[in-house]
Amino acid sequence: MSDVRIAPIAETLPEFLEKHQFSAVAVLVDYHTQKFCYPLVKNWLSKHTIIRIKAGEEYKHLHTCETIWEALTNANFDRHGLLLNLGGGVIGDMGGFCAATYKRGIAFAQIPTTLLAQVDASVGGKLGIDFHGFKNHIGVFKLPETVLIDPVFLQTLPERELRSGFAEVIKHCLIADAAKWDEIRRRDLTEQNLSELVAHSVAVKQRVVEQDPTEKGLRKILNFGHTLGHAVETYFLAQPRKRLLHGEAIAVGMVTEAFLAHQKKMIDATLLAEIEEYIFSVYGKVNLTGADVEPIVALTLQDKKNQGKQVRMALLDGPGRCAFDIPVTRAEMRQALDYYRG
Amino acid sequence: MSDVRIAPIAETLPEFLEKHQFSAVAVLVDYHTQKFCYPLVKNWLSKHTIIRIKAGEEYKHLHTCETIWEALTNANFDRHGLLLNLGGGVIGDMGGFCAATYKRGIAFAQIPTTLLAQVDASVGGKLGIDFHGFKNHIGVFKLPETVLIDPVFLQTLPERELRSGFAEVIKHCLIADAAKWDEIRRRDLTEQNLSELVAHSVAVKQRVVEQDPTEKGLRKILNFGHTLGHAVETYFLAQPRKRLLHGEAIAVGMVTEAFLAHQKKMIDATLLAEIEEYIFSVYGKVNLTGADVEPIVALTLQDKKNQGKQVRMALLDGPGRCAFDIPVTRAEMRQALDYYRG
């Protein structure tokens, strides 16, 4: 299991660098993290290379990887170098993938700067990039040397980004901690204790990943909300004006998949109503038309958790509990999306 | 350690497929292996997809990977599929890399069809592709589900290919088995018992790799002949008419690096003379001009075994013995290449 530290970066970063002897250090940033986060990090680094890529999921592809590999090559990076991924999920997933494949693998560390990356992407070793419109289609499992989480970075985030990351916090409560769900659902986002919730989410995720690092079984519960959620996210990726942030799409996924769990008598009407009400209060309702339903359902066929042509989902199995590998038909998915629209 | 079987494919392939339940099978071939090797394999497969790529090291790059990933995506391959890599080192290294990264990793099996791939590339889990002219610059370590070696495929090989693969057989004897070296050096290539030598080479390589799978130490001895050898190979890659096969370049590497070992008093003049004499008798002498020396030396700087800007080599340390991480200067490398030319 990788070492996750939740503490000021001024404490954890120098400590980490001192413990290892890296032959070189590069920092991967985008425009935003170079401006807002890099100043908090650079003081603790000696000589290093900055690799800057364009911000956003639409650049999480092979071509950007080539840029990163080229930069490492030009800096004469050997196998004993370190890549510090300073940013959100895109930076962490793609930087991690590039490090894991450069000269068959160099060390990398994650410094997640968004709420989403702190509570989800940085923990668990899933690395990858999108390919031909499919999310995280090419990648590997590999744990970073360390994950350094500093809540101070959350202050640099726009409110919409924070809200997006909060969807994974909600998910972790729903699948693993009924009492915590009961606590958060009574408060608006602005009233939450985020530092405490980050630690809670990381603990839930680590506990699950530790038992099943390569997602053969249990780890699949972390995908609650993500089968339809990913499909919705991918679908709107092609429509710049309607594009959703990851958590906004997952919010749609959690409502529709909670509906499916209720249909399959896995959760009662009270829990479904609670989930709907809270998620709509935080995220509002995404405008889905009848014409959107079929292409979204079709996109679920490429989900990595499927077996053959059968879509399988992680569905809630009571408050704070989740089951996985539940077969769901296309008709059921259509019904769930229509329910969301109604 | 991956399971390596040396036996007729008609025996090993059906047995392997029966033991596993793959949701789909794809076979990666090039023009040559589709024509000469695929007929020996297809009878043992039920429904499967053929993925054909162009033959040769010059296509071992990211763009060909995209073709392979696309083909797997179009065939709706899920995580429970199998990719069978039917071919030489390029097919095995690149197909393995694509399988190891498709949806964060699907199963793959190596069916090496060249001597080089049977005695070297298919064993040990080094996967990768060339990048910007650097050999195997992007890749991962991952073991295949199985390696199925059938000596019958060697009959499909042109003599020059066989000779190229034989360089790795020579290497395995030189670094690990003085008695076997003494045996093979008294015979021409055509007089060797190849089936027996394939088994010998696989055993040597597995023994080394098992002790150090990710090349932190001991495994580096397998790189004897490869620091200058790779540089020579890369150098001539850009000159189509002078292009060398891998083993032909490694033959140059073994002579020049044996010279360096002698200079450093690690081997005596007798062993150096034996190596020179035998390698020249099998491979002849590559025509290197004075102008070739400097660019070849410069290329060794990108070797993955280096630390910082210091080139480190695996050098013979007596008959059947090899040391690693020996620092070598640019002047020494120039001297070795001049010695070879002399």
Model confidence pLDDT, tens digit, residues A67-125: 999 999 999 999 999 999 999 999 999 999 999 999 999 999 999 999 999 999 888 89
Using an 8 Å CB-CB cutoff, list residues of chain B that contact chain A: 23, 62, 66, 69-70, 73, 76, 78-80, 100-105, 126-128, 131-132, 134, 136-141, 214, 301-302, 304-309
**Going by C-beta distance under 8 Å and a sequence separation of 6 or more, which residues neighbour residue A52?**
A28, A29, A30, A31, A34
Distance of residue B232 Cα from the nearest chain A Cα, in angstroms: 19
Residue found by looking up tokens 């726009």 in the block: A158
Which chain B residues are within 8 Å of A138, Cβ to Cβ? Answer: 69, 101-102
CA A340 – CA A260 distance, rounded (Å): 11
Give the E-state strand segments of A88-171 in sequence order: 107-112, 126-131, 134-141, 146-149
Give the pLDDT confidence of B88-111 residue by residue, as tens digits: 999 999 999 999 999 999 999 999
pLDDT digits 0-9 by tens, A115-139: 999 999 888 899 999 999 888 999 9
Asked if residue A224 has pLDDT above 80, the reply is yes
Q: What is the value of ipTM here, to two decimals?
A: 0.89
Percent of chain B with pLDDT strictly greater than 70: 99
From the candidates A226, A233, A257, A262, give the one annotated as an active-site residue: A226
**Residue A82: in which H helix or E strand, if any?**
strand A82-87
- Is pLDDT of B308 > 70? no
Are A132 and B102 inside 8 Å of each other by CB? no
Q: Strand A322-327 to strand A312-316: parallel, antiparallel, or no bridges (unpaired)?
A: antiparallel
The DSSP code for B335 is: H
Chain B interface test: which of A77, A138, A234, A303 (most B C-beta within 10 Å): A138
pLDDT, mean of residues B182-187: 97
Examine the residue annotation and report whether B246 is marked as an active-site residue of this protein. yes
Quote the pLDDT of residue A303: 72
> Does the active-site annotation cover B103?
no
E strands within B168-238?
A: none
In this predicted structure, the answer to whether residue B302 has a pLDDT above a threshold of 80 is: no
Which residues in chain B belong to E strands, given as ranges? 3-6, 25-30, 49-53, 82-87, 107-112, 126-131, 134-141, 146-149, 312-316, 322-327
Please report residues of A whose CB lies closer than 8 A to that of B103: 137, 139, 304
The bridge status of strand A25-30 relative to strand B49-53 is unpaired
Question: Is residue B32 annotated as part of the catalytic site, yes or no?
Answer: no
pLDDT higher than threshold 70 for residue B1: no
Of the candidates A161, A168, A233, A257, the residue annotated as catalytic is A168
Domains (range + CATH), chain A:
3-156 (3.40.50.1970), 159-341 (1.20.1090.10)
Q: Is the pLDDT of residue B46 over 70?
A: yes
Phi, psi of B24 (to 5 degrees): -165, 155
Alpha-carbon gap, residue B232 to B299, rounded angstroms: 8
| pLDDT range class, residue A141, cuts 50, 70, 90 | very high
